Amino acid sequence: MLEGLNRALDHLESCLDRDIDMAEVARIATVSEYHFRRLFSALAGMPLPLYVRRRRMTLAGAEVLAGDLTLLDVAVRYGYSSGEAFARAFRSVHGVGPGEARRTGAVLTAQPRMSFRVVVEGSTTMRYRIVEKEPFRVLGKKARLPLVHEGLNAAAAAHLESLDNQAVVQMKELAGQEPDGVLSAVVYLTDSREEGAQADYWIGVVTAPEVAAEELDALDVPAGTWAVFDNYGPYPSALQELWRDVFTQWFPSNPYTSRTGPELLRTQPVEIGTETDSQLWIPVERASGSTGA
């Protein structure tokens, strides 16, 4: 898979001075566009659109300082129809406008070209199973929250604390499918997984699709395949490390890609610093061209 990702990055690099067809980039990587964006974000530590903008502004910055083209010509070359839009993008990366950079020879910021390679880090193993699951419904309470990569997500903790006992009791009475018990479900609103990106966050239970409760929010989930990971360690750091390892180690080593759908997480107990038993459900599908055992 890493070879395909690097071929895709080579193609992306050749398209920085024109419109980029991300579907074609993903095709070269032999994965879906959805999975390519998610995998890139996990491996690179930044969302794909931000990397593209930084690379474009790195190349544009060199041409601005060289002075061979007008600023408008540089803007048009890198896909901006107006000098104002180009100046905003340039300033967001370099901290200075292109005109000032040319006049003063300002120090600019360069985004190096990326490539991915395998790094052997030790003896970490991951316990997982593949589950085919029929349609189901998550019933619970929903909130829109920012992503937090390290440490406690205060907004998620506040949402959990806001649940009254009656709602929790009702959820437990409705639970009837795997994964059992009260859990969280996260639906990402964009392809970005950067710190602060917004997501819809449920605290609820998994039920049959026909079950309903007027007091609870409902999330209907179609049938599909799930990779289920068991985890044990201090909360929440062990879970955050598990999510990172799934995308940076498990996906590149297995014939699956991510697909749209909620990520499900069951954790008990949920107390900061305590050792927790957790189960993470990631929606997946067989990678294109893979075969069964």
Residues 137 and 279 in one domain: yes
Same structural domain, 139 and 279:
yes
Span 2-28, average pLDDT: 92
Determine, yes or no, domain membership for 112: no
Same domain for 82 and 151, yes or no, is no
| Structure-token pair, residue 278 | 């957790």
pLDDT of residue 248: 80
Residue 122's pLDDT is what? Answer: 44
For position 241, what pLDDT does the model report?
82
Domain range for residue 147?
127-286
pLDDT digits (tens, 9 = 90+) for 75-125: 999 989 889 999 999 999 999 999 999 998 888 998 999 888 765 554 456
Give residue-wise pLDDT tens across range 261-279: 999 998 876 566 577 888 8
Nearest to 117 by CA among 3, 250, 39: 3
pLDDT in tens, 277-288: 888 999 999 887
pTM of the predicted model, to two decimals?
0.73
* CATH number of the domain encompassing residue 75: 1.10.10.60
Contacts 24+ apart (CB under 8 A), 159-167: 159/201, 159/203, 160/203, 160/270, 163/203, 167/141, 167/215, 167/216
pLDDT of residue 125: 66
263 lies in the same domain as 188: yes
Same domain, 131 and 231: yes
Q: Is residue 92 part of a domain?
A: yes
Number of domains present in the structure of the chain: 2
Give me the pLDDT at residue 106, please: 84
CATH number at residue 179: 3.20.80.10
Confidence band of 289 (pLDDT split at 50, 70, 90): low
In this structure, are residues 50 and 41 in contact, taking their beta carbons and an 8 Å threshold? no
241 within domain boundaries: yes
- Are 161 and 281 members of one domain? yes
* Cα–Cα distance measured from residue 128 to residue 256, given in angstroms and rounded to the nearest whole number: 13
